[in-house]
Amino acid sequence: MRALKYALAASLLVAAPAAVAQQQLSIATGGTGGTYYPYGGGLAELIKEHIDGYDAVAEVTGASVENMGLVWRGDSDMALALADTVYQAYNGTGDFEGRQLENIRALASVYPNAVQIVTMADSGIESLQDLEGKIVSVGAPGSGTELNARAVLETNGISYDDFEARRLNFNETADALRDGDIDAGFWSVGPPTSSIMNLATTRDIRLIGLSDEEVANAREEVPVFAPYELRAGLYEGMEEPVQTIGIPNILATNAEMDEELAYQITKTLFEHTDQLIAIHPAANDTTMKFSVDSTPIAFHPGALRYYEEQGAEIEDRQRP
């Protein structure tokens, strides 16, 4: 693991000579308009408050695909990423064909993302097939959103050749919808997310649902997908529930992370979840059961120790 920064002002050293320097950990997240950044910031606060000798900071990144490289190289100590991206990186498949990141380990699955396809209420777009011939944001380059968007589209017979693709982050997608520069946009993020919430307060929006067949087609290609229902009232003006697919989000790290540190981070995550819920409602799904049921790669030995202490049943594929 790359050596971590130490920071303590000289004035503090004078005022408190017995103070111990805090070892700073970095958490790679995503854009500020998604869930990763506030969730990662909340986790950073938990680490600072509950793990002696450590400070932490959430970093804005391009999200899942970029985050795997950051953790693999040791440029970040932890990262949030979609399960399919983590699975591909760990196994050297998909976007990671020929460049397996075998030293990636999981600390936990923290909450499910939902693929959310948003358009204006008066756009005339009511189904996946209606995206053909339109201008559609498929997510930021290197993001898990784009991986999910491509999988959902291609497994249902739609390619990028069938519409004009724009690669925008969450806030840019919301702004482009508001300004009429695009017709629809994909989000793969824990609901509710601030960028869609803000858009819904100023414009009438529609969320495009997936049929049972479309969900089944996507799951056949991406086994970590699962049916997920966006509840009525999730966003302003959303009167009916909308069927889509969900996918777990993984808190990943490098296999070289100190075992005791990995143990303490995992313990802190599950024993102080109430503090995360106060920051973002996605943390309501941060449970040990969800983590052990959903994580598709090997846990870090430190995380594994915590789960086994709690009596969790770990599958062979989740062991390093």
* 25-63 pLDDT per residue, tens: 999 999 998 889 999 999 999 999 999 999 999 999 999
What is the model's pLDDT at position 308? 97
DSSP H helices in the chain: 10-15, 36-50, 64-73, 83-91, 144-154, 170-179, 194-202, 212-221, 259-271, 273-279, 288-294, 301-309
The winner for highest mean pLDDT among 142-156, 174-188, 219-233 is 174-188
What is the distance between the terminal CA atoms of the chain, rounded to a whole angstrom? 18
DSSP string, 188-252: EESSS-HHHHHHHHHS-EEEPP--HHHHHHHHHH-TT-EEEEEPTTSSTT--S-EEEEEEEEEEE
For domain 112-245, the CATH superfamily is: Periplasmic binding protein-like II (3.40.190.10)
Q: Is the separation of the CB atoms in 191 and 228 below 8 Å?
A: no
Mean pLDDT of 211-230: 89
Ranges of CATH 3.40.190.10 domains, the chain: 22-109+249-316, 112-245
Tell me which residue of 241, 253, 209, 245 sits closest to 224, measured CA to CA.
Answer: 245
| 174, pLDDT greater than 50 | yes
| 223, pLDDT greater than 90 | no
CATH of 22-109+249-316, one of 3.40.190.10, 3.20.20.370, 3.30.930.10, 3.40.50.2300: 3.40.190.10
Tell me the percentage of the chain whose pLDDT exceeds 90.
79
Q: How far apart (Å, rounded) are the C-alpha atoms in residues 260 and 301?
A: 9
What is the model's pLDDT at position 46? 98
Task: Look over the chain and give the mean of its residue pLDDT values, rounded to a whole number.
Answer: 91
> CA–CA distance from 207 to each of 8, 39, 148, 170 (Å)?
48, 24, 16, 15
What is the model's pLDDT at position 15? 40
Q: Across-strand partners of 55?
A: 24
Q: Is the separation of the CB atoms in 165 and 138 below 8 Å?
A: yes
